[in-house]
């Protein structure tokens, strides 16, 4: 990746008063140029990361202590629990599976009866107090998976950073990567380009977050 970092002060971890380390809440999404994570048929095979992008995503995932996932995203990612022929896979694939297994996973779902993966819990409803409690007790970062969950957490003003990976394709319509009911202030703090023309933009969400 060819990187550009605007302000390195944002690369430093956060801490509370008294020096207790707390993780950041981070949403990362693979999107089309026109802002979708899947087309109208739910297809997202156009967003397959190459080795360099996958390796970069691994570095993000390895910093997560917890992932908060919507049910649909959880079901997509659960394949990593028992990936076929893992011993024959390249190292960056093995690394991602290792990150998936070590990370605590919390699925937001009213209908999922039980988790099919290890180190996984289910919460029926998403609320601010619950997210704040998770963050309070998590010294590592917290990854958000799923556009609906991310949009809700953004509306709560609790997302710290957003990574958008833009693939050079337009799908016309489909599932938006993020929605907001109000304007949100963002500051670009890093950007870069990967093989195959994928562009990454990293934003910090301002402390005040939403504004009127």
Interval 49-96: pLDDT, tens: 999 999 999 999 999 999 999 999 999 999 999 988 999 999 999 999
> Which SS3 state, helix, strand or coil, does residue 46 take?
helix
What pTM value is reported for the model?
0.88
% of the chain surpassing 90 pLDDT:
82
Q: What is the pLDDT of residue 72?
A: 93
Q: What is the pLDDT of residue 4?
A: 55
Interval 105-128: pLDDT, tens: 999 999 999 999 999 999 999 999
Q: Please give the structure tokens belonging to residue 83.
A: 């990936």
Q: What is the mean pLDDT of the chain?
A: 89
pLDDT top residue among 205 and 210: 205
Instruction: Report yes or no: 189 and 7 within 8 Å, Cβ to Cβ.
Output: yes
Q: Please give the structure tokens belonging to residue 140.
A: 């590592």
Look up tokens 């893992």; give the residue: 86
Report whether pLDDT(208) > 90: no
Average pLDDT over residues 168-172: 97
Element (H, E) at 18: none
Report whether pLDDT(18) > 80: no
Q: Are strands 174-176 and 36-39 parallel, antiparallel or unpaired?
A: antiparallel
Nearest to 147, CA basis, from 38, 67, 1, 14: 38
């Amino acid at each position: 990746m060819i990187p550009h970092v605007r302000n390195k002060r944002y690369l430093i971890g956060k801490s509370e008063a008294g020096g207790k380390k707390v993780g950041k809440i981070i949403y990362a999404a693979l999107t089309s140029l026109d802002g979708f994570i899947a087309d109208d048929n739910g297809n997202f095979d156009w967003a397959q990361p190459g080795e360099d992008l996958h390796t970069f995503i691994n570095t993000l995932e390895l910093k997560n202590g917890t992932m908060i996932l919507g049910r649909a995203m959880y079901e997509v990612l659960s394949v990593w629990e028992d990936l076929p022929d893992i011993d024959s896979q390249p190292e960056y694939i093995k690394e991602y599976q290792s990150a998936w297994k070590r990370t605590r996973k919390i699925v937001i779902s009213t209908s999922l009866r039980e988790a099919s993966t290890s180190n996984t819990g289910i919460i029926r409803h998403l609320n601010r107090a619950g997210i704040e409690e998770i963050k309070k007790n998590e010294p590592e970062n917290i990854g958000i998976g799923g556009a609906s969950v991310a949009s809700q957490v953004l509306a709560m003003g609790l997302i710290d950073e957003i990574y958008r990976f833009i693939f050079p394709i337009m799908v016309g319509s489909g599932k938006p990567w993020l929605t907001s009911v109000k304007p949100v202030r963002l500051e670009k703090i890093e950007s870069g380009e990967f093989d195959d023309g994928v562009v990454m933009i990293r934003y910090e969400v301002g402390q005040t977050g939403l504004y009127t």
